[in-house]
Structure 1
């Protein structure tokens, strides 16, 4: 949902959120359209990139990977954008798929660390990092390159089925195979796949 609204309303929203911290509220992004109109939106877009109001703990749903991020990054840093596009070209992938995965995995936080030990932008597990020759999983370029290579490998394994590739990325390819080439019945994976697909679409 995106609406265009007078600038004074932004201040009102911020004040209301500040004086009522116990009330759950959704995230709100703000920005300015090409015509100069202030835009408020509940999702990030080219016209609304600045996170004006972050969701409260009561209304926040952590990334499927349970990555611990110090803050939400609503705008894609240009350096990451270039790295993602380079990795996508190198591994014949749609860069939008990588963007969707990173959005869900880490929220573009290169220092994200999950409770299970997954690290960096694409939340590489230590075994996966070693498997794809990563020496520093918190290095954005290495992390994206290895994540993209793994995604490409999974897509080949599952004959281009994006949802199965995502399930394999989250739960491991063997879990998908044991489930009869279906999304495994793991709560995290069942949430992860549609969430990434929603961002991708």
Structure 2
């Protein structure tokens, strides 16, 4: 069987990241979709647990990331993509909470994933542990999404749609590229007083993570414009 074409990420002139995936023939479905769906959604592992307001969830994430000394804005971006700040989010595979912890990982981290504070603390500690191992933000996100073994087996970022798309989503959320691009295009109208704060905040957040990862270089795409990636997408380990 021929090897699958590499997957990658495309970076536009504004720095926005988009997955680039090989054309794949439609999958052949075997069996009845109806019977496949009979199992339905997994049972709620945390019945009776209330859902936090998104603003409360974000404040909780920021507080715990600060306590754990791990990049609060990067952590918030991960939680946004993982759960959209819904503290009772449950995935079809059974991952739960703001950081979508599976039972085995929660057990390894010694946290009760049903409790929002412990769910967040577990997610932050997992991200911090991955950061200590891999440094590169793309590898951190790849390992968090697909698992370390999948990344090691692939000798880098696994070439699958879910993981590539996940990395793009988190990085776009972290850098707020969509907001910055819209502002650069003028589609948001005159800059509001807070808009400069957003741009500076994005640059500040970028530098804090990039300082920890020397695999990428950053340049400005235009005078006074949004920062953009100068290097390409790294898919394999050095």
TM-score (norm 2): 0.50
Q: Quote the offset at 1:99 in angstroms.
A: 1.0
Counterparts of 2:102 and 2:111 in 1: how far apart (Å)?
A: 11
Give the one of 145, 164, 176 matched to 1:190.
164
- Moved beyond 6 Å, runs of 4+: none
- Please list, as runs of the form range in 1=range in 2, the aligned pairs for 1:1-201 lying within 5 A after superposition: 76-77=54-55, 79-135=56-112, 137-158=113-134, 160-180=135-155, 182-201=156-175
Q: Which has the higher strand share?
A: 1
8 Å contact from structure 1 (residues 121, 138) kept in 2 = no
Q: Which has the higher helix share?
A: 2
Q: Quote the offset at 1:81 in angstroms.
A: 3.0
Deviates more, 1:84-93 or 1:144-153: 84-93
Counterparts of 1:183 and 1:91 in 2: how far apart (Å)?
A: 26
Question: Max radius of gyration: which structure?
Answer: 2
SS in 1 for 2:93: coil
Residues 60-114 of structure 1 show CA distances to partners (whole Å, capped at 9, x for unaligned) of: xxxxxxxxxxxxx9x842x323321222123321111111111111111111100
TM-score (norm 1): 0.58
Indicate the RMSD between aligned Cα atoms, in angstroms: 2.1
Residues 99-134 of structure 1 show CA distances to partners (whole Å, capped at 9, x for unaligned) of: 111111111111110011100011011111111012
Counterparts of 1:189 and 1:97 in 2: how far apart (Å)?
A: 17
8 Å contact from structure 2 (residues 79, 98) kept in 1 = yes
Structure 1: any 5+ residue segments left out of the alignment?
1-72
Residues 20-55 of structure 1 show CA distances to partners (whole Å, capped at 9, x for unaligned) of: xxxxxxxxxxxxxxxxxxxxxxxxxxxxxxxxxxxx
Aligned residues: 126
Between 1 and 2, higher relative CO (CA 8 Å, sep ≥ 6) is seen in 2
Structure 2: any 5+ residue segments left out of the alignment?
1-50, 176-238
Counterparts of 2:148 and 2:67 in 1: how far apart (Å)?
A: 22
